[in-house]
A and B are shown apart, each in its own frame.
Chain A
Amino acid sequence: MYNRIAVLRKERGLSRKELADKIGVNFQTVGYLEREEYNPSLDLAFRISECFDLPVEFIFSTKPMKPLSEELLNLKRGV
């Protein structure tokens, strides 16, 4: 499973520890999630989406995700 956790965390200026505390996991687990070496449970995925205040499908995907800048550009162009 692919995700945007690393980008979203950095965008919000959070450390791994801060994000880990917010979603109720160990900071090492955040590292595993960011490297896409661990797939979260549905419960954790929803907690992450609530933390970033974004829909879960915007953070997680079964297909490789496009960079956010590219998605924004596509939105602007109305693609």
Chain B
Amino acid sequence: MNKTKHTRRFAVLINYFSIVVILVLFYLVRLLGLNPIFLAFEIIPLITVVLSFRHAFVKTGIWKMTYASSKKLDEREIQVVFKAMNISYSLFAITTLVIIYIFILSGLGQIDAVLAVCLLYIAHILPASIIAWNEKE
């Protein structure tokens, strides 16, 4: 595996890990009834999300490629984006379904704004993540 691909994959992992940290911190504060001042620590994973997003998707041009008009892409890129969109649609549907079931079964109640925002963010970065993970150059 070349260095570029390795660092890109690492940035993708960091990005997702930071989202998980944001959610875990939020639910720890909420469920354990901790002082809301702890939520200030969310700024650290939030910065990591921004930095890893920039490194994995913006600098590599993958973000632009994912949401570019098909007229601006060549035939291979169109195939790559189409495949990534297909996979992410299935992945996102399954993930959302699992989360909803977890919330219903564990009695956590409704999905709140933080989780909804995280899910929306994931829905947007999933195709780019799949491309960033699989592309060789």
Q: Which residues of A contact B (CB under 8 A)?
A: 24-26, 28-29, 31-32, 37-38, 40-41, 43-44
Contact = CB atoms under 8 A, between A and B. Distances in A.
B136 A26 contact: no
A46 to B, nearest CB: 13
Contacts of A28: 135, 137
A31 B137 contact: yes
Contacts of A26: 73-74, 76-77
23 contacts: A25-B75, A25-B76, A26-B73, A26-B74, A26-B76, A26-B77, A28-B135, A28-B137, A29-B74, A29-B75, A29-B76, A29-B77, A31-B136, A31-B137, A32-B76, A32-B136, A32-B137, A37-B136, A38-B76, A40-B75, A41-B75, A43-B75, A44-B75
B74 A24 contact: yes
Interface of B, helix, strand, loop or mixed by DSSP = loop
Interface string B107-137: 0000000000000000000000000000111
Given A26-B77, A29-B76, A37-B136, 14 more contacts: A24-B74, A25-B75, A25-B76, A26-B76, A28-B135, A29-B74, A29-B75, A29-B77, A31-B137, A32-B136, A38-B76, A40-B75, A43-B75, A44-B75
Contacts of B75: 25, 29, 40-41, 43-44
